[in-house]
Amino acid sequence: MKNNDTSRRDFLATALLAGVAAGCSSNNPFSPGDDAIKASGEMVKLLSVDGEVIEVDKAFLKPVPDMPTVTSSEERIGIAGKKFVMVIDLARCKNVQACKASCNHAHHLNPGQNWIKVHAMQEAEHTAPYWEPTTCMHCDQPPCVKVCPVDATFKREDGIVLIDSDRCIGCRFCMAACPYSTRVFNWNEPVLEKEIAEKPYSCETSMPQKIGTVSKCDFCPDMARKGELPHCVSACPNGVFFFGDMNEDSVTNGAETFRFSELVKDKAGYRLMEDLGTRPRVYYLPPVNRNFPFESGLEKDTTEKNNFK
Amino acid sequence: MKNLTPLTADIITNNLVPQKFGKRGMIWTGVLVAFCIVGAYAYFLQLKNGLGVTAMRDYVSWGIYISNFVFFVAISLVGSLITAVFRLANVKWSTPLTRIAEIIAVSAIVFASLIIVVDMGRPERLLNLFMYGRLQSPIMWDVIVITTYLFISLLLLFFPLLPDLKILIKRKDLSVKSFGKFYSFLGSFWKGTRLQEKLNKRAVNILCVTIIPVAFCIHTVTSWLFATTYRPGWDSTNFGAYFISGAFLVGAGAVIVAMYVFRKAYALERYITELHFDKMGRIVVLLALLYLYFNVNEYLIPAFKMKNSEEAHLTDLFAGTYAPLFWFAIFTGMLVPIFILLFKRGRKPLPAFIAGVLVVVGAWFKRYLIVTPTLLHPFLPMTDVPESFKHYFPTWQEWAIALGSLAGALLIITFLPGYSPSSLYRKL
């Protein structure tokens, strides 16, 4: 699958370059060429769409814009043969918040928006406090998808729940329905770099964010297509997050890889609010034999200090 | 009363045709229009800058727009109560009230639909509801039943109006001039033949039968917008009945208020008599007791168990930040009106009017208390959000839009009788 994609991408790139070679600007193959560019005399060999090897002056080559690798209807179906799953090991979390920072950075979230939240939890007065990062649970019985009136948020075959911001009407029923309070709304026009704001919306990157629509953690399916881990997983210095595929029965945090079923069995994994019947795809390992004391995370505690207005 | 000349058809016609506004009427209209203009300006700002102009944020994602919507849907239920339920039960005394009730119902349901569009983040994508609509979503159920209810209500207003339209078309001197053409457009096909009378009567009967289940649907489905979620305070099997009983109560209260105002403004003492206030007063007591019963179920049963998730919510209502508003709503919306209307003297026009106002005001705040406090008590703690996300108090834009919509509904209620013939009384 991955190979297919790469070759498809290369193909697209070649096709585009061939278009450029034919003397066209990169966007519209039918518009006249840019006269301002002068031939440099240095030639490069390229493969044309017909499979011919052709030579083009180097000056006519332009960097290929980042082309979406999948169509929006493919984005609604998901990556074939996969059942994504996440395991969050609470014994390793000390509230470093690198997950959140990298996620916010990668998705260009505006201040005040966080798809990942790190809660300071304490079940009861005399039980031990612990840090609990939450992402979207990508439920198998997603309450948000059930209530969406326009199919703007949907469940894919690979288990991921995504949002189509081009379709969302902003009724916020999904936010009321989600018991994990995972959803974030764009109350104002998102402040984005021009380059990102002008891109067409992709459900898989969840970018660019649009005013008056809902967003949330997307499990980074664009990274999965590239064969890479979600940003939070690779950013965490303590290896709290494990990401993987239930069909392969393996999860990894980049450094360690486990058999998913064994990990959850050995460490008594559980899911949040199991009694609600939402069937989350995010599993938690209980905070036992912890790597860090709870207090070590307090300096980063955003629940009180870091609240920007 | 006995000394008055008997009411002939001519006197009735003269008394009940559209009447010109007095000075007070003009001031009243002016104030309402002013509210509407400010509301429209606030909505313009919201369209320009996004929902960020409201105080709603990620936790309190539904605010007074939604509670206002629930209020409108609730009050619109009265049309079906007074018109259909009483008619089918062969209650004769309610006839003069039917048109008031229908007008309230139509204006409320129109503004319910408008205010829900105001709450949307992307109102320009309204058509997505029809292009990509999912029948599984309670919002789609609401769209369907509200549209149906609006059309049945309009027909139920229109059909009984036909014989009266004929009078107005005939006697041009009685009607407001510019509306003459409109009246002929609406009613010139009406000849008043026996067959037409019969058909009309049948049509109204059929509408009366259909509007009752539809009315139950609109408010039940509206309650399901909340009850289909997991949230403490909303996750209740009691919600449909709770909402419907509350809706009948606020609707009946609104009818008493409207009765009093119309009676004063148009000198209708001979049509809307003290008997009507007495009967409506009794009905409000019954409905308030019913609503109180559902409130006991809704709040005291979870409070008996005090599940963790419910506890924060309930203590906040009973004794926390929302306690003043909560008890205000319970007392003004139910207990005080029951107390007033329980006595015969309390069912005289003026005290009944005051009780009606209390019911309506209490009901508005009750809807607010159903929507907002729940959202401030999510299952997981409110983490990693700005401090302002943890409270909710509507901004001036929200108040302006909400008040503007209320003023708009009142404007329709004010104008429809002014321009529609014999609108306060019907013989059918």
Residues of B whose CB is below 8 A from A213: 121-122
Q: What is the pLDDT of residue A14?
A: 53
Q: Is the pLDDT of residue A132 over 60?
A: yes
Q: What is the pLDDT of residue B340?
A: 96
Q: What is the DSSP letter of B39?
A: H
Convert the pLDDT of each residue in B21-75 to its tens digit.
678 888 999 999 999 999 999 999 999 999 999 999 999 999 999 999 999 999 9
Q: Which residue type is seen at B333? A: G
Residues of A whose CB is below 8 A from B381: 119-121, 303
- Cα–Cα distance for residue pair A262/B345, rounded to 1 Å: 77
Q: What is the pLDDT of residue A36?
A: 65
Q: What is the pLDDT of residue B81?
A: 80
Q: Is the pLDDT of residue A22 over 70?
A: no
Dihedral (CA of B309, A214, B38, B26) sign: negative
Contact A168 B137 (CB under 8 A): no
Contact A188 B52 (CB under 8 A): yes
What residue ranges in B165-298 does DSSP mark as E strands? Answer: none
B217-229 in b/e burial notation, b at 16+ Cβ within 10 A?
bbbbbbbbbbbbb
When the pLDDT of each residue in chain B is averaged and rounded to a whole number, the result is: 88
Q: Which residue type is seen at B254? A: A
Element at A266 (helix H, strand E): helix A260-266
A146: its two tokens: 């059930």
Q: Which residues 30-89 of A have a C-beta within 8 angstroms of B?
A: none
What is the mean pLDDT of the segment spanning A140-169?
Answer: 96
Q: Is the pLDDT of residue A45 over 50?
A: yes
CA atoms within 13 A on the CB side of B389: 25
Residues of chain A with CATH 3.30.70.20: 72-300
Convert the pLDDT of each residue in B245-271 to its tens digit.
999 999 999 999 999 998 888 777 878
Q: Is the pLDDT of residue A25 over 50?
A: no
Q: What is the pLDDT of residue B90?
A: 86
Residues of B whose CB is below 8 A from A175: 58, 61
Best B65, B134, B372, B377 member to test A by mutation, with max A CBs in 10 Å, is B134
Contact A112 B386 (CB under 8 A): yes
Contact B380 A170 (CB under 8 A): no
Q: Is the pLDDT of residue B371 over 60?
A: yes
Tell whether B308 is within 8 A of chain A (Cβ): no
* More confident call, A77 vs B97: A77
Residues B116 and B163 sit within 8 Å (Cβ to Cβ): no
Residue A163, beta-bridge partner list: A153
Nearest-neighbour CA in chain B from A280: distance (Å): 15
Q: What is the pLDDT of residue B26?
A: 87
* More confident call, A216 vs A11: A216
Say which residues have a Cβ less than 8 Å from residue A26's Cβ, sequence separation at least 6. Answer: A16, A19, A20, A62, A64, A65
Q: How many beta-carbon contacts under 8 Å exist across A and B?
A: 147
Q: Is the pLDDT of residue B108 over 50?
A: yes
Give CA B88 to chain center in angstroms: 22
Residues A296 and A93 sit within 8 Å (Cβ to Cβ): no
- Cα–Cα distance for residue pair B183/B151, rounded to 1 Å: 19
Q: Please, which pLDDT band fits residue B18 given cuts at 50, 70 and 90?
A: low
Q: Is the pLDDT of residue B301 over 80?
A: yes
What is the mean pLDDT of the segment spanning A90-103?
Answer: 95
- Cα–Cα distance for residue pair B23/B233, rounded to 1 Å: 47
Contact B56 A187 (CB under 8 A): yes
Comparing alpha-carbon positions, the chain A residue that sits nearest to B385 is A112
Cis peptide before A208 (omega within 30 of 0): yes
Convert the pLDDT of each residue in A209-244 to its tens digit.
999 999 999 999 999 999 999 999 999 999 999 999
Residues A92 and A130 sit within 8 Å (Cβ to Cβ): no
3-state secondary structure of A276: helix
Q: What ipTM did this prediction achieve?
A: 0.89
Q: How many CB atoms lie within 10 A of CB B310?
A: 19
Q: What is the pLDDT of residue A21?
A: 47
Q: Is the pLDDT of residue B224 over 90?
A: yes
The pairing of strands A130-134 and A153-155 is unpaired
Contact A152 B132 (CB under 8 A): yes
Comparing alpha-carbon positions, the chain A residue that sits nearest to B229 is A177
Q: Which residues 167-196 of A have a C-beta within 8 angstroms of B?
A: 167-173, 175-177, 179-181, 183-189
Q: Please, which pLDDT band fits residue B237 given cuts at 50, 70 and 90?
A: very high
Convert the pLDDT of each residue in B322-337 to its tens digit.
999 999 999 999 999 9
Nearest-neighbour CA in chain B from A24: distance (Å): 36
Q: Please, which pLDDT band fits residue B425 given cuts at 50, 70 and 90?
A: very low
A257: its two tokens: 């890889």
Nearest-neighbour CA in chain B from A1: distance (Å): 31
Q: What is the DSSP letter of A24?
A: -
Q: What is the pLDDT of residue A39?
A: 78
Best A97, A137, A166, A187 member to test B by mutation, with max B CBs in 10 Å, is A187
Percent share of chain A, pLDDT over 70: 83
Percent share of chain A, pLDDT over 90: 68
- Cα–Cα distance for residue pair A220/A282, rounded to 1 Å: 14
Q: Which residues 138-167 of B have a C-beta within 8 angstroms of A?
A: 138-140, 143
Q: What is the pLDDT of residue B85?
A: 87
Q: Is the pLDDT of residue B285 over 60?
A: yes
Contact A309 B386 (CB under 8 A): yes
Contact A185 B383 (CB under 8 A): no
Nearest-neighbour CA in chain B from A5: distance (Å): 30
Nearest-neighbour CA in chain B from A215: distance (Å): 11
Position of tokens 């009180």? A304
Q: What is the DSSP letter of A257?
A: E
B369-408 in b/e burial notation, b at 16+ Cβ within 10 A?
bbbbbbbbbbbbebbbbeeebeebebbebbbbbbbbbbbb
Q: Please, which pLDDT band fits residue A52 given cuts at 50, 70 and 90?
A: confident
B93-120 in b/e burial notation, b at 16+ Cβ within 10 A?
ebbbbbbbbbbbbbbbbbbbbbbbebbb
Residues B286 and B359 sit within 8 Å (Cβ to Cβ): no
**Would you say domain A72-300 falls under CATH 3.30.930.10?**
no
Residues of A whose CB is below 8 A from B230: 143, 177, 179, 276
Give CA A120 to chain center in angstroms: 24
Q: Which residues 231-260 of B have a C-beta within 8 angstroms of A?
A: 231
Say which residues have a Cβ less than 8 Å from residue B412's Cβ, sequence separation at least 6. Answer: B103, B106, B107, B110
Q: What is the pLDDT of residue A308?
A: 35
Contact B225 A173 (CB under 8 A): yes
Q: What is the pLDDT of residue B20?
A: 63
- Cα angle for residues B381, A96, A119 (degrees, 5° grid): 10
Nearest-neighbour CA in chain A from B36: distance (Å): 24
pTM of the model: 0.87
Contact A167 B132 (CB under 8 A): yes
Say which residues have a Cβ less than 8 Å from residue B222's Cβ, sequence separation at least 6. Answer: B69, B70, B73, B142, B243
3-state secondary structure of A249: coil
Give CA B405 to chain center in angstroms: 12
In this complex, the residue of A118, A180, A213 whose CB is nearest that of residue B122 is A213
Q: Please, which pLDDT band fits residue A78 given cuts at 50, 70 and 90?
A: very high
Nearest-neighbour CA in chain B from A207: distance (Å): 17
Residues of A whose CB is below 8 A from B61: 172, 175-176, 185
Q: Is the pLDDT of residue A1 over 50?
A: no
In this complex, the residue of A170, A177, A307 whose CB is nearest that of residue B121 is A170
- Cα–Cα distance for residue pair A287/B122, rounded to 1 Å: 42
A60-96 in b/e burial notation, b at 16+ Cβ within 10 A?
bbeeeeeebbbeeeebbebbeebbbbbbbbbbbbbbb
Nearest-neighbour CA in chain B from A302: distance (Å): 6
Q: Which residues 102-131 of B have a C-beta within 8 angstroms of A?
A: 119-123, 125-126, 128-129, 131
Contact A185 B119 (CB under 8 A): no
Nearest-neighbour CA in chain A from B123: distance (Å): 7
3-state secondary structure of A19: helix
Q: Is the pLDDT of residue A136 over 90?
A: yes
Residues A116 and A88 sit within 8 Å (Cβ to Cβ): no
Classify residue A26 by burial, with Cβ atoms within 10 Å: 0-12, 13-18, 19+. middle
3-state secondary structure of B238: coil
H runs (alpha helix) in B296-395: 301-305, 308-318, 323-330, 336-342, 349-375
Instruction: Label residue A155 left, alpha or beta by phi (over 0 means left) and psi (-120 to 50 means alpha).
Output: beta
